[in-house]
Amino acid sequence: MKALLTIVAFILGSGIAFAQASTTEDPPTPPPARILAIGDSLMAWHSIAGRAIPDIIAEELEEPTENRSIGGARMIFNVPFIGGAGMQISHQVIEGDWDWVVMNGGGNDLWFGCGCGACDKKLDALITEGGDEGEIPRVINDLRDSGAKVLFFGYLRSPGVDSLIEECKDEGDELESRVSSFAKSTKGVYFLSNTDLVPEGDLSFHGFDRIHPSLKGSEEIGKRIAALIRKYDRKR
């Protein structure tokens, strides 16, 4: 009898455990990302550490982001297969129900494409002075046609200490001036300048190469972007 009771108790206990296990719900599936990030190394820097600009945006807005940016990418990269692999920034765009696309680009086109010297043709290929033609407005207009708002942000500036890209300042200023004007005249497009982010002589916003952002630099840019998204998107 004692053995029989032990078996019954075991069966009942197993049944209760099974019932509890079977009624345990799976953890909820996280919502799909509604913010896409595309661009070059300014966007992608610190991705391995999970502290790239898109990571900071996700943290600030408390929602996921999809980061497709690649270091070295250009706006114009007409090399078969390589451009299609994401080295051309427009090819980083993937299908999705995007509310926002955060993007940057053009710096590598000026630095590698014309050595930040005779860059008039390269600038016009990126965006004409009137802002109505070029690769940047083409990509942005395509994104707007998909229904997404677009936030294009500018590069860090030198802290007043020698940098490999110091000679690109004038070309960079002109590029961003054109993008800013285009954004002001185009519904659903926003430009964020970072020309005022780095105080003179402050090296803490840059990495050792004085080109890419430090962790602090990425964090500050990400926070600025998140604040601008909140400003123009009240549901966030």
Per-residue model confidence as pLDDT tens digits over 35-52: 999 999 999 999 999 999
pTM of the model: 0.86
Task: Report the CATH number that the domain containing residue 193 is assigned in CATH.
Answer: 3.40.50.1110
pLDDT for position 82:
67
Q: Is the pLDDT of residue 171 over 80?
A: yes
Give exposure, 15-44, as e/b (b: 16+ Cβ within 10 Å).
eeeeeeeeeeeeeeeeeebbbbbbbbbbbb
In a domain, 154, yes or no: yes
In a domain, 27, yes or no: no
CA atoms within 13 A on the CB side of 141: 11
Q: State how many domains the chain has.
A: 1
pLDDT for position 83:
59
Distance in angstroms (rounded) separating the CA atoms of residues 105 and 88: 10
Poorest-confidence range of 1-15, 50-64, 143-157, 194-208?
Answer: 1-15
In a domain, 134, yes or no: yes
Rounded mean pLDDT, 190-205: 94
In a domain, 140, yes or no: yes
Q: Is the pLDDT of residue 86 over 60?
A: yes
| Size of the chain in residues | 236
In a domain, 73, yes or no: yes
- Residue 211's domain comprises 35-232
In a domain, 2, yes or no: no
- Here the tokens at position 90 are 């427009």
In a domain, 99, yes or no: yes
pLDDT for position 94:
97
Residue 26 near residue 60, CB atoms below 8 Å: no
Work out the number of other CB atoms within 10 angstroms of the CB of residue 235.
5
In a domain, 228, yes or no: yes
